[in-house]
């Protein structure tokens, strides 16, 4: 679905400067050096905001984004609705004639992967943040949660046809390095659609052990669906979708230029009330197809909006996963 362009955004002065940095990387490789002072200040503020809020809601050791996940086999217990059928213990099930699943001991040395899309379609926003900035904030939250859990974090970053891989390492400095690189992607406008499928396949080829993969994108198109399904066979998946409210509803504002940022194609459209209704219906259909595909992959899903509380949504998901992990251990509430 095409988006209106250019976006009219009114962020703070610092965010405006960061946006300017993002737009001046045309034709350059992804940044490998230290970030600019403006970007560094934004990253410090983001880190303090995230860690301050997480300190208020997460307590205890190893309280990360995926409590209870692991690769080492543990005790068996009776199957409960919602359990992963891939963990059925067939030997005990055959002996007892009751379905059992094998618990997994939470590892302390897992590898988490971030797949973050900052392509042309993500450089769109009609509120304080654009989608790429919201995606970076979500990546920061996931990254610092991973660092709290003392796991390693790797990243595969996508900007149109360009893919950048950051090898996995542990610690907060690794999270900062990923965020710094995310803040300076190459310009991808007019270079084609995001190679999200290629990024997912890259993670599948690199990650030899079962791990945790977080995919942050607007999930435009459908080329990514087979790759995500293949990745789910081996890894635990979390899909974080990012959208702007204007992508679901365009007011009847008259004659406008509609731009496809991926290809650069421009079309003049007169947006009337009837066109507004057709646009909303088409956007709803596309959203339903996306959600159906994500559901088939078995991924957990968090939906973020550029005008919403992105940190609250991720914290709420983390709390829910912790409760599920406790109930999976057989503790009744």
The neighbour count for residue 27, using CB atoms within 10 Å, is: 6
- Does residue 285 register a pLDDT over 70? yes
| 298 domain-assigned | yes
- Beta-ladder partners of 301: 239
Structural domain harbouring 88: 72-105
Q: Which of 44-58, 166-180, 305-319 has the highest mean pLDDT?
A: 166-180
Residue 218 has pLDDT above 50, yes or no: yes
Is residue 325, in this structure, part of any structural domain at all? no
Amino acid 18: pLDDT? 36
Residue 127 predicted with pLDDT over 60 = yes
Whether 100 is covered by a domain: the verdict is: yes
pLDDT at res. 11:
33
Residue 308 lies in a domain: yes
Q: Residues 245-274: what's their mean pLDDT? A: 91
Give yes or no: residues 89 and 203 share one domain.
Answer: no
Tokens of residue 255, six digits: 């004659």
Residues 267 and 125 in one domain: yes
| Structure confidence at residue 99 as a pLDDT band (50, 70, 90) | very high
Give the residue, 287 or 103, on which the prediction is more confident. 287
- 171/123 same-domain check: yes
Confidence of residue 184 (pLDDT cuts 50, 70, 90): confident
Residue 91 vs residue 217, higher pLDDT: 217
Q: Tell me the percentage of the chain whose pLDDT exceeds 90.
A: 43
**Does residue 89 share a domain with residue 190?**
no
Mean pLDDT throughout 162-181? 92
**Average confidence (pLDDT) over 125-141:** 91
Q: Alpha-carbon distance 190 to 42, whole Å?
A: 28
Q: What is the pLDDT of residue 102?
A: 79
191 in Cβ contact with 46 (< 8 Å): no
Mean pLDDT value across residues 131-137:
93
Tell me the two tokens of residue 313.
């949504």
Q: What pLDDT, on the 0 to 100 scale, is given for residue 29?
A: 54
- 201 and 287 co-located in one domain: yes
Average pLDDT over residues 277-296: 95
In a domain, 116, yes or no: yes
- Say if residue 278 is in the same domain as residue 234: yes
Same domain, 205 and 78: no
pTM: 0.74
| C-alpha 4, offset from chain centre | 23
What pLDDT does residue 74 have?
A: 53
Tokens of residue 326, six digits: 């406790």
How many domains are contained in the chain?
2
In a shared domain, residues 82 and 182: no
Verify that 158 and 204 share a domain, yes or no: yes
**Is residue 87 located within the same domain as residue 190?**
no
Query: CB within 8 A of 84, min separation 6: which ones?
Result: 101
* 236/274 same-domain check: yes
Rounded to the nearest 10 degrees, what angle do helices 37-57 and 172-182 cross at? 130
309-322 pLDDT tens trace:
888 888 888 777 76
Residue 28 pLDDT: 39
Nearest to 247, CA basis, from 216, 215, 287: 287
165 shares its domain with 154: yes
**pLDDT at residue 144 is higher than 50:** yes
Please, what is the average pLDDT of the chain?
A: 80
């Amino acid at each position: 679905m095409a988006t209106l362009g250019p976006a009219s955004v009114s962020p703070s002065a610092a965010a405006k400067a960061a946006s300017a940095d993002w737009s001046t990387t045309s034709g350059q490789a992804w940044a490998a050096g230290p970030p600019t002072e403006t970007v560094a200040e934004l990253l410090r503020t983001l880190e303090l905001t995230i860690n301050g809020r997480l300190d208020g809601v997460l307590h205890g050791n190893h309280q990360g984004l995926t409590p209870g996940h692991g690769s080492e086999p543990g005790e068996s217990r009776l199957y409960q609705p919602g359990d992963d059928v891939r963990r059925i213990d067939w030997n005990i099930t055959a002996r007892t004639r009751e379905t059992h699943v094998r618990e997994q001991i939470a590892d302390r040395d897992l590898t988490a992967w971030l797949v973050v899309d900052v392509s042309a379609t993500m450089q769109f926003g009609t509120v304080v943040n654009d989608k790429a900035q919201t995606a970076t904030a979500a990546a920061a939250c996931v990254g610092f949660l991973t660092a709290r859990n003392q796991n390693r974090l790797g990243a595969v970053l996508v900007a149109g046809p360009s893919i950048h891989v950051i090898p996995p390492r542990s610690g907060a400095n690794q999270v900062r390095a990923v965020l710094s690189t995310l803040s300076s992607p190459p310009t991808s406008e007019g270079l084609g659609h995001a190679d999200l499928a290629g990024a997912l396949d890259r993670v599948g080829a690199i990650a030899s052990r079962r791990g945790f993969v977080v995919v942050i994108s607007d999930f435009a198109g459908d080329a990514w669906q087979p790759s995500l399904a293949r990745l789910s066979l081996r890894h635990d998946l979390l899909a974080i979708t990012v959208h702007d409210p204007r992508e679901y509803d365009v007011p009847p504002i008259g004659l406008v230029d509609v731009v496809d940022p991926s290809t650069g194609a421009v079309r003049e459209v007169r947006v009337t009330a009837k066109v507004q209704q057709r646009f909303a219906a088409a956007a709803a259909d596309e959203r339903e197809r996306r959600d159906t595909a994500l559901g088939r992959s078995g991924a957990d899903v968090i939906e973020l909006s550029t005008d919403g509380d992105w940190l609250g949504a991720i914290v709420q998901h983390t709390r829910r996963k912790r409760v599920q992990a406790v109930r999976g251990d057989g503790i009744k509430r």
